[in-house]
Amino acid sequence: MPPGNLPETIVGETLATLPARPYLSAVKIVYDKEICQRHGQCVGAAPELFEFAPDGSLVVLNTNPPEELWEAAQDAVDVCPVQALTLEKE
C-alpha cells in the first residue's frame, strides 16, 4: 500500500529519483592527530581514505569523501579505539 493516497506509480517514480540519504549532502572526516595513537585500524577499514606516511603519521586522503565511501568512513570512525576520528554530517 503506498503512503498516503498517492497512486502507486507516482510514489514509485518519486522514490526512484530520491537520493539514498536526502537529508545529507556531505560528510567531513575530522581527524585529531593529538589523540591518534597510530593503531592503523582506520587504514584497514578504509584504505581508500587513510594511509600512513613514510614518517608514520596518518594521512586522511580525502576529508570530504564521495557518498560511495561514507560507509567506509563510518567504519573507520567506529573501529578507532581512541575516538581520534569523527564524522561531521551536513
Q: How far is CA 18 from CA 32, 46, 80, 83, in A?
A: 34, 27, 32, 33
Instruction: Report, in Å, the least distance between residue 62 CB and ligand SF4.
Output: 15
Contact 46, 69 (CB under 8 A): yes
Q: Does 49 bind ligand SF4 (CB under 6 A)?
A: no
Q: Does 39 bind ligand SF4 (CB under 6 A)?
A: yes
Query: Phi and psi of 29, rounded to 5°?
Result: -85, 125
Q: Which stretch binds ligand SF4 (CB under 6 A): 3-11, 14-22, 30-38, 61-69?
A: 30-38
Residues forming contacts to ligand SF4 in the complex (CB under 6 A) are: 36-42, 58, 80, 82, 84-85
